[in-house]
Homo-oligomer: A and B are copies of this chain.
Amino acid sequence: MIVRQAANVLEILEYFARVKKPATLAEIADHFGWPRSSTFNLLTTLADKGYLYEPRPRAGYYPTPRWLVLAREVSEVEPLPAWSRALITSLSSETGETVAIAAPAGVMAVFIDVIESSAAIRYFAHIGHRVPIHATSSGRALLLQYSQDERDSLYRKIEFKQYNPSTPISIDAVEAELSKSVERGYCQSFADYSRDLAGVAVPLPIGERRLSVVVAGPEFRIGDRTAEIAATLKQSVERFRGK
Contacts and interface: CB of A to CB of B under 8 A. Distances in A.
Given A74-B20, A105-B54, A69 B6 contact: no
Nearest to A209: B55
Contacts of A3: 5, 41-42, 45
Nearest to A61: B105
Interface stretch (A125-133, A171-179, A215-223, A227-235): A125-133
Assembly stoichiometry (copies): 2
Given A9-B6, A50-B130, A106-B47, A55 B78 contact: yes
A203 B93 CA distance: 49
Interface string A41-67: 110111111111111110000111111
A71 B14 CA distance: 9
Nearest to A40: B1
A163 interface: no
A75 B64 CA distance: 8
Interface string A85-120: 000000000000000000111101010110000000
Contacts of A54: 103-106
A54 B154 CA distance: 13
Nearest to A14: B70
A146 interface: yes
A128 B69 contact: yes
A8 interface: yes
Contact of A75 (B10, B50, B65, B210): B65
Given A67-B67, A67-B71, 14 more contacts: A5-B6, A17-B70, A20-B77, A49-B128, A50-B130, A53-B103, A53-B104, A53-B105, A62-B74, A63-B75, A64-B128, A65-B113, A68-B74, A69-B127
9 contacts: A3-B41, A3-B42, A13-B74, A17-B70, A20-B76, A55-B209, A64-B110, A65-B75, A69-B128
